[in-house]
Amino acid sequence: MSFTQLLVTSLKLLVTSLTLASLMTSTKQSVSSIINFECINSDKGYATIAVSPSGKQTNNLIHWNFSVFADSFSSQQQCQEVTKRLNLIVANHGKKMSDLLLTTDFINGKEVICWVYDFKYTCKGDGSNLLFVIPSAQDPKIVLRQLFDIPDDLLSVDVPLRYAPIYLKLGATIESQLAELDNVNSTSLIEVTSEVKNPTDKLAIYDSTIDESIQKNALQITVRIFTKLGAGSGIIIKRQGQTYTVLTNAHVADGSSDQQYTILTGDGQSHPARRKTLSNFKGIDLALVEFISDIDYEVAVLRNSEITIGEQVYAVGFPNYIYNSKGSIETFDWGLKAFHITTGTLEMLMSEPSLPEGYKMGYTNEVEVGMSGGPVLDSKGQVIGLNGRGKYPIQGIEIFALTDGTYPSPELFHKMNALSWAIPISLFQEGTKISGSLTDIKTQSVQPSSIPTIDSFTAVFNWVRYKLLGFRDFGTGKR
């Protein structure tokens, strides 16, 4: 049986199982009695829409004349089948409509779009939350924009950790449009109230378990980078006159196609910024951003001595979400309250072959979405790397292909999978020496302190939990 035939069979089984579940839960009030999805033949071709109880219709939500779908399905068949699945999804999950999200990922090498009700989830390997498949691999951002008639502010392509998924706020779009049409505030059956309110003050909260001097230094040298599509983190590495240079990940800077950004500094001030050309780093996930200010900001010290396995390290940045028992809460308007620092231990240092894009440093710290580009600090507060890849990526071993085209052994993969990954600052230092650019960057040599080798129990425990639960726990940084 071909992959396409297997996939079609799996999807039919999924629809059948959802239908049976609908019949078995007759005591549950159906969301579809409030919101119903319909397939219509519009002036732009077949499209999926949402209809309110009073019969008011949203704009076209999904356009089915897009060329990336399998030829074996007509636009009408695609529209009817996925519309049916959407109705089954909302009928069997008594959740708030605004929480309905679509997300993209790869399963068996195929780009797929799945449904979830929380940012901490993504496509499941067994296909149980699969909505449809895009046979030819596409850029997820392009696919979502071409498929969905959704405003950019509801396309949550938050600057992710490398290989993290992106999300489209389908439910929020529906709720917003129908609220305007029907003058209602919510289409919810179950109201979910947040346990945490957005802070309004600009003071960062420090972790009482971490040396306050480390945290204060980390806050001064770490910035939040707001892009057109989300937010990431960065490090102030140089000042020349009133021009500050920030080092971050390329996948953070790529969040603004016009290369314009807003920088939030450690004093709570915002500054317009632009991308700076970075040479000699082809294939490395690094980028530079510049902003101008007459305020005296701290510049990071980059460590230029060797780092060793077992050293205590701190991962720093601004997560885009926090998680509690009720779900996820965005932090984009939290100011410095979103500042976050985690402790851990350096567990792996890879030579060649290594992971692509410069990721050679594995550490046990939890790294959340939005912390990409933020610093990894040693026990003296000096920069030894940049965050960029989190734990437990859903693609599994496929994205652990090494630079020579080989894959790690199963034993090594399990160890690597349980670690966050950073780009060593030494790669950046070596590149700037070659180009002769960015002189006067602060560096310092240190003698590594004697620290015992890490107990691997935590990494093994997290891996076992991941395998048993079958999903990544974003709320605790399991990526």
* DSSP-assigned beta bridge partners for residue 329: 322
Output helix, strand, coil percentages for the chain, rounded to the nearest 5: 25, 25, 45
Closest to 169 (Cα-Cα) out of 102, 104, 231:
102
Structure-block tokens of residue 132: 């449809």
Structure-block tokens of residue 389: 């890849």
Q: What is the pLDDT of residue 451?
A: 27
CA angle 417, 421, 427 (to 5 degrees): 145
* DSSP-assigned beta bridge partners for residue 133: 112
Q: Say how far apart CA 220 and CA 197 lie, in whole Å.
A: 25
Side chain identity at 423, as an amino acid letter?
Answer: I
Assess contact for 246 and 289: CB atoms under 8 A: yes
Q: What is the pLDDT of residue 76?
A: 80
Q: Say how far apart CA 313 and CA 84 lie, in whole Å.
A: 49
Q: What is the pLDDT of residue 165?
A: 60
Q: Which domains does the chain have, with CATH numbers?
A: 36-183 (no CATH), 212-444 (2.40.10.120)
Query: pLDDT tens track of the chain, all 479 residues?
Result: 444 454 444 444 444 444 333 333 333 333 334 688 888 887 777 888 888 877 888 877 777 765 555 555 677 877 888 888 888 887 776 667 777 888 777 776 667 788 888 776 777 766 777 777 766 555 555 555 556 655 554 444 444 566 566 677 778 778 777 776 655 433 322 222 223 333 334 456 677 788 889 999 999 999 999 998 889 999 999 999 999 999 999 999 998 889 999 999 999 999 999 999 887 788 899 999 999 999 999 999 999 889 999 999 999 999 998 876 556 788 999 999 999 999 999 999 999 899 999 999 999 999 998 999 999 999 999 999 999 999 888 677 888 999 999 999 999 999 999 999 999 999 999 887 654 455 556 555 544 333 223 233 333 333 343 333 333 332 323 33
For residue 14, the surrounding DSSP H or E stretch is helix 3-24
Q: Length of the chain in residues, anyone?
A: 479
pTM of the model: 0.59
Q: What is the pLDDT of residue 477?
A: 32
Side chain identity at 16, as an amino acid letter?
Answer: T
Crossing angle of the two packed helices 457-469 and 410-417, in degrees rounded to 10: 90
Closest to 131 (Cα-Cα) out of 183, 186, 189, 170:
170
Q: Say how far apart CA 384 and CA 235 lie, in whole Å.
A: 11
